Structure 1
Amino acid sequence: MIAAQDGHRVTPAELFFDLVFVYAITQVTALMADDTTPLRILGGLVVLALLWWCWCCFAWLGNVVRADSGALFAVLVAVMAVMMVVLLTVPEVFSDRPGGLDAPLVFVLCYGAVRLLHLVSYRIAHPDDRALHATLRRTALLSVGPPLVLLLIGSALTGVAQVLVWLGAVVIDYVGIFVTGASGWRIASPGHSAERHGLIVIIALGESIVAIGVGVSGYPVTAAVLAAAVAGLLVVTGLWRLYFRQFSEAAEHRLAPLEGDDRTRLGRDVYTFLHLPLVAGVVLAALGMKKALHQVADAGHYALSEPLHGIAAWALTGGVGVFLLGAAAIVVRIGGPRPVTLITGGALCLVAGAVVVLVPALLAVALLAAAVTAMVALHGRTASRAVLKQS
């Protein structure tokens, strides 16, 4: 394996690897859309957190070892094959269908294989790094072994019990990584980390655009459908602008001058931990938009004045709220200006489902688009003024 250097950028091999995770986000959205209940939403987020960890493992590995080297590329292809098996089981992970393999068990076994491949790859890539070897052992004992046991137990359960046991596994996994500490892990290229995670945000935003199209697929194109689609696109555009124009570069610039464990800790917090709410928020918003657009398009079953109902109403605005609060947390972590607008807007979006259930679905999407556009513009102006005062 070939070690990466400072200034290393994302390779085509990593872009190829990410194609599997395009399908992953689609599968998670479909899992939640198939049975839009609070329990299924929670279960979908648990699955997303597990898949996110699989992606992060190899995003970090690709930062210190070139993914286009023969050995690592072979590992990536092997992981892609295992992940395809994982993703094919996602629709049945909480409701296994008779006549085939045990989908929850296959999911867990393949997930465990991905995590073990990651640890072994790191060990092979750094045969003389004793600090890293100690960290790998702690990771296996704290963040891989116990969660896998819980996931195996949960795979034999159903309903609320399965979701809660798997949620416990996710919590232990993430706490284990935090407790393990930064010693041994390395970020060779801050630019690579920023670009890599920016690409996964793009993938998530792309899923929300796909959700708009899927929501109206098979129905006549009406003025209401066009208006709802444009409004949904404006929501996605606002989230894109917030991420890529207002804090993505700032996070990279904050990371670059740091060294050693300080750089690793900031990278872990900003990219591994705090990018998960961004992706989860987009997935939830995509679910809400898919349901809203479907309702606007299906004039045979829904009146144009009918509002969204249930968890879909919360997902539409709540997903945006989760994204905004995740963005605010990143701004705070990198020492940026106080993100009052993001915190306030995120909190309001989380509770705005109570309003969504009272207004027509088309109006709800349009109001959300206007609100996101206004919040992003206001945050940009506030942040610019704060920077000018500091300078």
Structure 2
Amino acid sequence: MTTFELFFDLVYVFAFTQVSRLMAETHSAIGILQALIILSLMWWTWVGYSWISNQASADQPFLRTVMTLAMIAVFIAALTIPEAYEDLEGGWNGPIVFATAYAAVRIIHVTLYLVVAREDSGVRRQLLIFLIALIPAVTLIFVGALLGGQAQLWLWLAGMIYDLGATWVGSALGRGWRLPSAEHWAERHGLVVILALGESIVAIGVGVAREPVDPFIMLGAAASVVLSVLLWWSYFARLAAAGEHALTARDEYARARLGADAYSYAHFVIIAGIIVTALGIEDAMKHVGDAEPFGWFGATALGAGIAMFAGGTVVFALLVGVRRPIMRAVEAVVLLAALPVLAVVPPLAALVIAVTLTGAIALTESALHRRAEAMRRS
């Protein structure tokens, strides 16, 4: 992976931060849905450029120049995330600016891909099929931005679902995508998981940035960091390498199909789970010294975020051939079942309970894995 790709991905770190900010400011279920729609739109733009950079080196001057233009558009879209649904007073219309920047990112992507694939008829044909998904989806984003209100929410949701679904069907019909490097693909997605986990670390500090340090903050920070490390372990201890090996073992079409299903699609659930968990951490740290109940909003963000992450790793594990990821499914069920408890205990206790449950499941999974490996060798 080139340093320019890493630099390109940094604009998405800012986008992740803006999505978390939107969730925190709205502090409602609708706000979380709005933010997840924005996250999915931004994720789909990142996915598009990751396919290009796997097929052609981003160190080429032409690719760097065009991807720089895309970075500018991504950054403008990220800047407008806080007013993507409600235009702030003064300046240009926020939803329209977001829709325009988003459309620019998608148009630049398709144009660049056509240039990169100018000698590959299979990819060019696939890109023409891809336009069937792109044009209606972008149109729905623009119409939603123009109408605003509840119509915007549902039109953007419809645009997102149509884009994902039509792209999946079109990819199965066209069979034209290329994924030359399994190592690059796995490494690139592993890096974006790290970047998202960085948001959970930032959330720890955001929650108490202006508070004097005391024992509650120190305990909450320690628990939050341990939780972030557990999420890191859950992905990188077994799954990251298994994904790369599965990609390497497949032929051209099967590799591209697995790359789309296990990474372009399943990884969105993993990233979304991390971002929602970060929201729960931030909410807990803001009130870490309080004796009052954590409440349903923070508890749901914390517990459901971990459960979403775990569910994403289950899907990823099954797709790449990891046998019986039972403990990941158990983790999702246990954290969801624990939501009523997390809601009625103080925020610090909720953090400790979430860390304890996640850690116990990780230890159990590790022990079962070692036992299975010992039995296999014997």
Of residues 308, 313, 316 in structure 2, which corresponds to 1:327? 313
Of residues 40, 46, 49 in structure 2, which corresponds to 1:55? 46
Query: Which structure 2 residues correspond to residues 173-188 of structure 1 after superposition, within 5 A?
Result: 173-181=163-171, 183-188=175-180
Alpha-carbon contact 2:280-2:302 (below 8 Å) kept: yes
Aligned to 2:359: 373
Unmatched tracts of structure 2, length 5 or more: none
User: Per-residue deviation at 1:203?
Assistant: 0.5
User: Per-residue deviation at 1:46?
Assistant: 0.3
User: Per-residue deviation at 1:220?
Assistant: 1.2
Q: In the alignment, does 2:110 pair up with 1:124?
A: no
C-alpha distance in 2 between matches for 1:21 and 1:231: 26
C-alpha distance in 2 between matches for 1:152 and 1:124: 26
Unmatched tracts of structure 1, length 5 or more: 1-9, 298-303
**Helix, strand or coil for the counterpart of 1:307?**
coil
Q: Which moved more, 1:52-61 or 1:308-317?
A: 308-317
**Helix, strand or coil for the counterpart of 2:36?**
helix
Query: Which structure 2 residues correspond to residues 130-145 of structure 1 after superposition, within 5 A?
Result: 130-141=121-132, 143-145=133-135
Aligned to 2:228: 236
Alpha-carbon contact 1:320-1:349 (below 8 Å) kept: yes
Alpha-carbon contact 1:17-1:80 (below 8 Å) kept: yes
C-alpha distance in 2 between matches for 1:266 and 1:388: 30
C-alpha distance in 2 between matches for 1:296 and 1:385: 39
Aligned to 2:302: 316
C-alpha distance in 1 between matches for 2:295 and 2:146: 33
Query: Which structure 2 residues correspond to residues 164-203 of structure 1 after superposition, within 5 A?
Result: 164-181=154-171, 183-203=175-195
**Helix, strand or coil for the counterpart of 2:287?**
helix
**Helix, strand or coil for the counterpart of 1:274?**
helix
Of residues 240, 256, 268 in structure 2, which corresponds to 1:264? 256
User: Per-residue deviation at 1:387?
Assistant: 4.7
Of residues 80, 89, 106 in structure 1, which corresponds to 2:97? 106
The number of equivalent residue pairs is 375
User: Percent identity at matched positions?
Assistant: 36
User: Per-residue deviation at 1:388?
Assistant: 5.0
Alpha-carbon contact 1:325-1:347 (below 8 Å) kept: no
C-alpha distance in 2 between matches for 1:332 and 1:189: 21
- In the superposition, the TM-score normalised over structure 2's length comes to 0.96
Alpha-carbon contact 1:39-1:160 (below 8 Å) kept: no
Q: In the alignment, does 2:341 pair up with 1:350?
A: no
Aligned to 1:12: 3
User: Per-residue deviation at 1:311?
Assistant: 2.0
- C-alpha change, 1:185 and 1:388, in structure 2 (3 Å) is farther
**Helix, strand or coil for the counterpart of 2:17?**
helix
Alpha-carbon contact 2:335-2:357 (below 8 Å) kept: no
**Helix, strand or coil for the counterpart of 1:296?**
coil
Counterpart code for 2:283: K
CA-based RMSD of the aligned residues comes to 1.3
Aligned to 1:86: 77
C-alpha distance in 2 between matches for 1:92 and 1:347: 35
Alpha-carbon contact 2:284-2:348 (below 8 Å) kept: yes
User: Per-residue deviation at 1:35?
Assistant: 1.1
Of residues 152, 156, 169 in structure 1, which corresponds to 2:142? 152
C-alpha distance in 1 between matches for 2:225 and 2:96: 38
- C-alpha change, 1:370 and 1:114, in structure 2 (3 Å) is same
Aligned to 2:350: 364
- C-alpha change, 1:157 and 1:312, in structure 2 (3 Å) is farther
Alpha-carbon contact 2:122-2:176 (below 8 Å) kept: yes
Alpha-carbon contact 1:11-1:67 (below 8 Å) kept: yes
Of residues 16, 22, 25 in structure 1, which corresponds to 2:16? 25
Counterpart code for 1:173: D
Counterpart code for 2:48: C
Q: In the alignment, does 2:26 pair up with 1:40?
A: no
User: Per-residue deviation at 1:352?
Assistant: 2.6
Question: Which has the larger helix fraction?
Answer: 2
